[in-house]
Structures are given as C-alpha cells and as structure tokens.
Chains A and B, each alone.
Chain A
Amino acid sequence: MTTVTPDSLSSTRPEVVGLSPWAWAKKNLFSDWFNSLLTVVLVTILGWLIFRLANWALTTAQWQVIPNNVGLFMTGTYPSSLYARVWALLAMICLLAGLSWGVLSRNLSTLFSRNVLIGIGAICAFIVLFPPTRPSSLKLLPMVAMVAGMAAIGRQAGRQRPGIGKWVSLLWFLSYFVALWLIGGGLGLTPVSTNDWGGLMLTLLAAVSGIALCFPLGLMLALGRRSALPVVRWLSTAYIEVVRGVPLVAFLFMGQVLIPLFLPAGTRPDRILRAIIALALFSAAYLAENVRAGLQAVPRGQREAAMSLGLNTPTTLGLIILPQALKIAIPAIVGQFISLFQDTTLLAIVGLAELLGIGRSILANPSYLGRYAEVYLFLGVIYWFFCYAMSLASRKIEDKLNTDER
C-alpha cells in the first residue's frame, strides 16, 4: 500500500502577517516602561560584552594554535605517514552518510531543494575559507561531492528497492569494524598502537562504541527492573541505583585500576577498551531509567491484550511493548547519548588523548603557552556542533515516529 501525502495540506498554512520593524520592536522590546528599561540595560551589557569579545578575538587572540595543530586535534598522535587511512575512513563515512540521506529522503520530490543547495554551498565556502581546513580543502571538497552524489544514488536505489534501509543499516554496522581495521591496522595494514589513537577520531570512536554497548545493556536492565521475576528485578535495581550514585570520574579512574584487579593475573585489557567499558557500564544505568520511563508509559491494556492473544513474554515484549516504549523514550535516550558523548571528555582525565586531552597537551607545549581561551573555544565549537546535531536528529526522528493525533 502506498501512502499518499497530500502536498496541499502543508501549503494551506495561514501566511504570517509581517510586522514592520518599528511595530515589531515596539511589541517585543518596548511594550511598557519596565520592558524598555530591561531592553536598554540588556543592550548595554550585551553590547559591551560583544565589543570586548570581538576586540579580543580580532586583536589579542593568537589563533595560529588552531591551524598549526589541525592534525593533532583531529587524530592525535596518529602517525602522519598513515593519514591516508584516516582519509579513507572519512570517505567511507561520507559515502554511507550520503547513501543514508538519499534512502531516508526517497519520498521527497526534490532532493536538492533550495535550502539544501544553500547548505552545501555554505559548507564548501567554509571549507575553502576557514584557515584550519585550508591545507586539506582539496580533499574535503570531493568528500562533500561524494555525500551529494551518493545521496542522489541512494534516492534512486531507495525508490527501486523499498527494503534497502535494512542493507544500509547492515553497511553501517560493518563499517564500524572496517573503521577499527583502518585505524588500528593489522590484516595487511601497518598496526598502530592504541597509544597513538587520539583527537576527534578517538572521541567519536569512544562515543559510538559506548553508545553501541550501553544501549542493549540499558535495555536489559530496564526490562529487568520492570520484570515480574524477583531475582532479576532486585539485581537490576541494585545495579542501577549503585551506579547512579557514583560519579563517573570515580567509575572511570577506578575502572582503570580495578578492572585489571578483577581479571586473572596478567590479563590487562587495552586502556581505551577499559575506558569504553567503564563508560558503557555507567551510561547503561542511566539509559535503563529512561527506557523504564518509556515502559511505564505503555498502557497496561497493551500487555494484557497481547497475553490474551496468546503471545508469550518474549514476543509480547519484542512485538508489542518495546516498540511503543522506545518510541516514547527516544528524546530521553538521545539525551543520554548526548551526555555520553560529552562524558568522553573525562577520558582526558584518565590520560587518553581524546579531543580535550589532546587540547590540553597542545596547551602544555611552551610555544602555545597561555592560549587557553583560543583552544577551549575551538573545542567548545566542535562539541557544540556534534551535540546540537544529535538533538536536532532526535527531534526529526520524534516527528517522524509521532503517529498519534496529538
């Protein structure tokens, strides 16, 4: 069955009546004496702050620390002779991202609408003009072209084969292992010790691995806590409550120390692996609470209806309860993923050179002494970009899955 989305519906929205700038200002800024006073005070303070900031950014700040260390920020101390592998990794991600974009938007009439074209143009302009990307802009521009090209292909493929979404998911899953192979080497590539993994690459790798590990674990804990079986319920509740009472730093740092102690003498998992495990074990407890909230929001009648249809517990959960619960819990789950992404900064404290850690070691270099504001602002922009993109994506998914007539 094909669903027809009436295009006319979206275009019948009432037109917004534009106010003249003067009327707008009077309504929103100077509606009464208190508002006017507030506006004047705020404009003064903000103006002064912005002036000081712009003054600092344009005269005092020494931004060379960013372009001089782009390689470090992106990949840490990864050997520069092997950068081709990182580029290959980026190309793979771009191809897949383009493909998914095309497949997801296969129902749109025009893929490259005006806004998308403007966006692509802005990205290209940014790549050419922004100093840190300039040395490699020749490689970055084809990446953008690849995303756009794959999007067009993906849209065609998606139209011809409606079931292609599953294959794209499988490709993403496989790409994780290809990525590990490209970064770490082995199987014909020069091995790179995990000590040399770093920068944004390590941040993203840790975040993705952490998310992939903590999601199933959190799901199991949430189901366990809601289970009718007392042993399972008590164990899950105890785990969740204890982990939620401990600060993550303590968990990570002691994880570095305690995990080797808990394993047979001589086995010592890799530092990065230990950190990712600690991160996932920690986030799973919080995720479990988010999923539990979703489970509680599913009406009791759903379970009873499923039971009376003769479904057993696993099928009731898998086919009836979880799909509804997860849909409700999506905003909270993505929120938890965002905080997991932010929590990867704590790996810097246990001595890993992820984005913040590499920033600190660059600041320890005598030639960049005191460039704190520049480096931390740059890192802040990167983190903000990724977190904001995730919350934007969550809102899109939420809209798409929102089948209620609310």
Chain B
Amino acid sequence: MAQDSGNRSFDLKAMLRDERFWKIAFQVITLAVVVALASFFIGNLTRNMAQQGRVFGFSFLLNQAGFSIGESLIQYRPNDPYWKALTVGLSNTISLVAAGIVLTTLLGVAAGVTSFSKNWLLFKLSRSYVGLVRNIPLLLQLFFWYFAIYGMLPNPANQLELLGIAFLNNRGVYIPWASSAGLALLGIAATVLAAIAAIYLWQWRIKVRVETGTGGQQQLVALGLLGVMLIGLLTLGIDWTIPTGIDGGGVSGGLRLSREYVAALSALVFYTAAFVAEIVRAGIQSVSKGQWEAAHALGLKASAVMQLVVFPQALRVIIPPMNSEYMNLTKNTSLAFAIAFPEMYSVATTTYNQTGRPVEVFLVLIATYLLICLLITLVMNQLNRAVQFKER
C-alpha cells in the first residue's frame, strides 16, 4: 500500500475507510482462500492416490481396453486401446447430437410456429405439447420411450412394416440406407453442400432482383439444375439397400438403428424441441405488431407474412438462445448411458471402472464435451452474424 512506505501520515482508520484498500484486500483474501482450498484438495488427492499406489498420467489410454461395445460407427475390437474405445463413444455421441440437432430444430420450429395458428386444435396441441414435455424430467421420458414405447413393440416374428420400406420391432428400427458407410457419407455431404449452395443462389437471386428490378431467371434455372443433380445423385449414385423382412422374423439389409439409439434420439428430440418451441414463440412475439399489420396491408398471404416478414426478423432473437439449447442437447446425450447406449459418457464410466482413474477420465470427459460445445458455439456465432440486422 502507498501509505505504509515511508508516508508519515499513516493512519489505520483512514485506510480501513478507503474503498481502494478493501478492493485489493478482498481480492487478496479471495485468491488466498481459493489457493488454500485448491492446495488442500490437490494435496489430499495426491496423498490418496499415492496411498492407492497410482501416479497421475494419461499413459493408461494406450493400454488394451478389453471390453466390447455394442454398436459403433468405426471399426473397434476389444483388444484395441482405451483411446480407441473412447473415440467410439465420441462417435456415437456425435451421431446422436447431429441427428438430434436437425430433428429438434424441425420439430421445435414447427411447434413454435403452430402456437400462432388460427386453428384452435393445432394451437392447443402445440401448447399442451410444450406444457406437458417441459414439466417432466428428461430421464423419465427417456425411460418411457425406451421401456414403455419401443420396448412394447412386437418381437421380430410379428414386426411392424411401414410402407414396405421400413420395419419396427423391439430390437430397433430398420430404414433404407446406402450400402456402404462411404456412400452414405457422400450422400450426406452432397446434401449439405447443395443446401448451402442453394441458400447462396437464393440470396444472389434476391439481390439481383432488388438491384435490377427484373431477372433472377438464371439463378432459378441454376437452382433447378442443382435440385435435379442432387436428386439424381441421391437416387442413382448411392446404392440404396432397402430392408426386407425375413420369414419367421428379423430383417435383412437396410440400416438398423438400435432400440437404444432410437429411444435416446426420440426422448432428446421431443424434450429439447419443447424448449426450442418456446424460444421460437418468444422470437416471433418479439416482432412488433406493426410489422404483421403492414405486411397484411400490403396484401401478403398469411404464409407469406410469416415467411418473408416476421420469421426473418424473429431469427435474430431466436438464434442466440438456440445455441444454449443445442449445448443442452449435447450434454443431455450423456443420459443415454442410463439405457445402455454406448456413448461417450458410458464408455468413460467403463474405462474408469476398469482402470480406477477417476481424475484422468473426468478430465478427458470434460475436455470432450467442452470441445463439442465450443464447436457448436462457433457455428452458431457465424449463423448469428448472418441473421443480425445490417444497420447503416
């Protein structure tokens, strides 16, 4: 402190009344408490670990895992190392997150928009869905989907057939899929790229039409061509295998989505979409009434009012909270462990049980989820920048 270094008029009372002194003292005390607590905890930790004869380190990740994993997107054998097993868990988590985000967005936006429907039945349906699902714990819903809905489907011998291309039984859901993983990836990549290209083409078309007052024909043709190419690629380029029922039960061909995966996906999507619906609803409500009225006065149809005037403005309110919903979805995939879906958390628990290294496994787990959440945030920030008002 300035006062005690040679200053003759040192006055303890004045110092105690000085807020600057307290600001520094408070920080020093906080830091001291945190450091003391941390050293207490870490000291105990090292002592406890030394007692059990263990040294902190991640080299155990290279040891042989020795446990099998029910389903995996990448090649995995029980004699692979732990890091490989954790990667399998991560890939399962990511497949749940990716499908979850797409379906949640679709269902959530639909439920949010229909809460403005003029149809009383649809409006009530949307509101009661949100009111019901938001007030029941996700874990309970997960068990309900897994045991009471998918678990009560008929056994493979009496399986249900949907339109001749999909099958449902109590082992899972069978859908048409590309014959190899590479082709499936190609199809998904092509669809995503085409969607991005279509968005840019559409924006270009609007820009051209706004600037020149006419035209936009070429862009429309380009859009059409893009669509035809994508459909052609998806129907012919990917070697589809369609599941077929076997006499006496069972299914061959197609893609089997395990009962665990489908139940986890259903629960996550229905739960998160209710929150998304509320976000969408709040976003649409934030658009001032004058915008609706002006659009109606211009003679736009009800659907065009929503599409062209209200929704684009609502998006800037909707996007930021969506980020945290997607992050919640990501973190909630860890609950799938309760129905034995081998996602990241489940594999991590098995790893901890076998190696007895809770601290290291916990750190790996934190790092993984933080990384996924960070990625989502990055993408959402880009999206957010795109929809914000371009003000002069």
Q: Which residues of B contact A319 (CB under 8 A)?
A: none
Q: Which residues of B contact A247 (CB under 8 A)?
A: 331-335, 345, 369
> Complex: how many Å from CA A7 to CA B352?
66
> Complex: how many Å from CA A218 to CA B171?
44
> Complex: how many Å from CA A235 to CA B32?
12
Which B residue's beta carbon lies closest to that of A31?
Answer: B118
B389 close to A (CB within 8 Å): no
Check B44–A249 contact: CB distance below 8 A. no
Query: Distance (Å) between the CB of A14 and the closest chain B CB?
Result: 20
| Of A75-83, A126-134, A186-194, A259-267, the one with at least 4 CB within 8 A of chain B | A259-267
Q: Which residues of B contact A249 (CB under 8 A)?
A: 334-335, 337-338, 345
A51 close to B (CB within 8 Å): no
> Complex: how many Å from CA A249 to CA B338?
10
Check B147–A356 contact: CB distance below 8 A. no
Check B26–A229 contact: CB distance below 8 A. yes
Query: Distance (Å) between the CB of A308 and the closest chain B CB?
Result: 14
| Of A117-125, A165-173, A344-352, the one with at least 4 CB within 8 A of chain B | A344-352
Check A39–B132 contact: CB distance below 8 A. no
> Complex: how many Å from CA A245 to CA B363?
12
Which A residue's beta carbon lies closest to that of B114?
Answer: A38
A253 close to B (CB within 8 Å): yes
Which A residue's beta carbon lies closest to that of B371?
Answer: A245
Q: Which residues of B contact A312 (CB under 8 A)?
A: 19
> Complex: how many Å from CA A229 to CA B21?
12
| Of A102-110, A141-149, A295-303, A380-388, the one with at least 4 CB within 8 A of chain B | A380-388
The listed residue (B148, B337, B359) touching A373 by CB distance below 8 A is: B148
> Complex: how many Å from CA A222 to CA B26?
16
Which B residue's beta carbon lies closest to that of A339?
Answer: B137
The listed residue (B31, B121, B334, B359) touching A42 by CB distance below 8 A is: B121
Check A235–B30 contact: CB distance below 8 A. yes
Which B residue's beta carbon lies closest to that of A313?
Answer: B19
Check B140–A380 contact: CB distance below 8 A. yes
> Complex: how many Å from CA A245 to CA B23?
30
The listed residue (A232, A261, A377, A379) touching B48 by CB distance below 8 A is: A261
Check A346–B121 contact: CB distance below 8 A. no
Q: Which residues of B contact A242 (CB under 8 A)?
A: 366, 370
B222 close to A (CB within 8 Å): no
Which B residue's beta carbon lies closest to that of A246?
Answer: B366
B193 close to A (CB within 8 Å): no
> Complex: how many Å from CA A254 to CA B370?
16
Check A264–B137 contact: CB distance below 8 A. no
Q: Which residues of A contact B204 (CB under 8 A)?
A: none
Check A383–B137 contact: CB distance below 8 A. yes
Query: Distance (Å) between the CB of A327 and the closest chain B CB?
Result: 20
Check A254–B335 contact: CB distance below 8 A. no
The listed residue (B118, B144, B373) touching A28 by CB distance below 8 A is: B118
Write the A352-389 contact mask toward B (1 if CB under 8 angstroms, else 0).
00001000100100000000110011011001100110
Q: Which residues of A contact B121 (CB under 8 A)?
A: 29, 38-39, 42-43, 46
Which B residue's beta carbon lies closest to that of A343?
Answer: B137
Check A376–B366 contact: CB distance below 8 A. no
Check B137–A342 contact: CB distance below 8 A. yes
> Complex: how many Å from CA A399 to CA B305?
33
B10 close to A (CB within 8 Å): no
The listed residue (A28, A253, A356, A384) touching B132 by CB distance below 8 A is: A384
Query: Distance (Å) between the CB of A128 and the closest chain B CB?
Result: 27
The listed residue (B27, B136, B334, B362) touching A232 by CB distance below 8 A is: B27
Check B44–A264 contact: CB distance below 8 A. yes
Check A250–B366 contact: CB distance below 8 A. yes
Query: Distance (Å) between the CB of A48 and the closest chain B CB?
Result: 14
Check A345–B373 contact: CB distance below 8 A. no
Write the B337-358 contact mask toward A (1 if CB under 8 angstroms, else 0).
1100000010011001000001
Query: Distance (Å) between the CB of A141 and the closest chain B CB?
Result: 28
> Complex: how many Å from CA A89 to CA B245?
58
Write the B34-64 contact mask toward A (1 if CB under 8 angstroms, else 0).
1000000100110111010000000000000
> Complex: how many Å from CA A313 to CA B22?
10
Q: Which residues of A contact B309 (CB under 8 A)?
A: none
In the complex, 19 of the A-B residue pairs with CB atoms within 8 angstroms, ordered by the A residue number, are A28-B120, A31-B118, A42-B121, A242-B366, A245-B331, A247-B335, A249-B335, A254-B365, A264-B44, A265-B48, A342-B138, A349-B337, A356-B137, A373-B144, A373-B152, A376-B140, A376-B144, A377-B144, A384-B132
Chain A interface residues toward B at CB < 8 A: 28-29, 31, 35, 38-39, 42-43, 46, 228-232, 235, 242, 244-250, 253-254, 257-258, 261-265, 312-313, 338, 342-346, 348-349, 356, 360, 363, 372-373, 376-377, 379-380, 383-384, 387-388, 391
Chain A to chain B: the 6 pairs with minimum beta-carbon distance, closest first: A28-B120, A387-B135, A372-B147, A247-B334, A342-B137, A373-B148
Q: A35-B119, A235-B31 are in contact. List 11 more A-B contacts (CB 8 A).
A: A38-B119, A38-B121, A43-B121, A231-B27, A261-B49, A264-B47, A265-B44, A373-B147, A373-B152, A376-B140, A387-B136
